[in-house]
A and B are shown apart, each in its own frame.
Chain A
């Protein structure tokens, strides 16, 4: 890689970086929201709802993200639902990682002390408000470290966007390789991913500290 090549490549790298950061931020947000909704729905006590949610988590935890993504990208348009590629990718990540987030929250709910929930019930709160106001905030606070880990996995998941025709940084790196047959670009991309990972870890530690203070 010489300077001129790098200069020509830089705009597409920056464009890819923008896509990767944007897509990661959106998919982390949507996955956590969707996972929370799933875990709340499954702990409301309705047998049908929790059964449906259990089937959902089982299916999406045990199917590779790539297959879901390809299904959304190639299959859904034939069924009459066509979306931009970016939306497809984010939808796939949300469905897949939402199941993981729901599972993390379920584990956290299981480990809550019985006393707090009994106290809430004895105050006369309904099941819905116990779940949404007592159980869920406690559970999400206890699972901050695991959610941070999951968030860093979601950032890595966005690298699969390069396989559905989106120019993210992985694809930008591959494009340079295809043009000049030099893999330096992919090393640079790898370094950027490590930097994002470190950033998320630090952010997670910060959030963890804040959540501990609030308790």
Chain B
């Protein structure tokens, strides 16, 4: 089987990945933002609950999360199951990243916001988020590369993505070397694009932040 016909066979799976990845990115960002803000608030009960959630989601492999949801819950389609489990899994990480970025903002800004009479959520959305959004992007991109890579797992809940179609094809033609090289190349390109975005943003940040620039001069060069 030629490369062309192999690619043609696997192409529908590419669209599944292109649907799943943006959906996951959006949903993990929204839930992660909420989790990050709730964790930053440090209300004891909420914080402890979220800590437990974090530990559970960081402890269990994505594969096991997928299986748990697939066997226990019925969301109508395998695609939705995959989407929800990846969202649940990665939101914990994204929430932790966002909370970390909020911690880097000086405390005085919270007090200033409070003294202006803003409530907690207004302070978060109008003061903290706009300032830290740029800083988040490189780290978040790192996490989203992991999201892209974890979408390879969804074939086990019979979502017909590139991996599923590829394995089906390889069972017929028995050419796993070429098949997995093609799948690997596809994911490599996809992740490289996200990495490129992260690099660009990081460079821009280094350039605009003069403190960083001074800091970099004193760094070692071996």
Contact = CB atoms under 8 A, between A and B. Distances in A.
B63 A71 contact: no
- For the complex of A and B, 3 pairs with smallest distance between CB atoms: A197-B59, A62-B191, A159-B61
B59 A114 contact: no
Interface residues of B, number: 39
A197 B63 contact: no
Given A111-B219, A114-B218, A75 B180 contact: yes
Interface residues of A, number: 53
Given A114-B219, A197-B55, A160 B63 contact: yes
Contacts of B192: 58, 62
A170 B63 contact: yes
Contacts of B68: 183, 186-187, 190
B41 to A, nearest CB: 24
B187 interface: yes
B47 interface: no
B176 A64 contact: no
Nearest to A159: B61
Nearest to A197: B59
A70 interface: yes
A213 interface: no
A47 interface: no
A94 interface: no
Interface core residue of A43, A67, A79 (most chain B CB under 10 Å) = A67
Interface stretch (B26-34, B119-127, B149-157): B149-157
A193 B220 contact: no
Contacts of B145: 61-62
Interface string A171-215: 001100100000100110110011111100000000000000000
B59 A65 contact: no
A142 interface: no
B219 A110 contact: yes
B64 A79 contact: no
A59 B220 contact: no
B129 interface: no
Interface SS of chain B? helix
Interface of A: 43, 45, 58-59, 61-68, 70-71, 74-75, 78-79, 109-114, 116-118, 127, 130-131, 135, 152, 156-157, 159-160, 162-163, 170, 173-174, 177, 183, 186-187, 189-190, 193-198
A63 B222 contact: no
A116 B220 CA distance: 9
Given A117-B222, A186-B71, A193 B63 contact: no
A194 B181 CA distance: 34
A157 B150 CA distance: 11
A63 B67 contact: no
11 contacts: A58-B192, A59-B188, A66-B152, A78-B177, A111-B219, A114-B219, A114-B221, A156-B60, A163-B63, A193-B64, A196-B59
Nearest to B221: A114
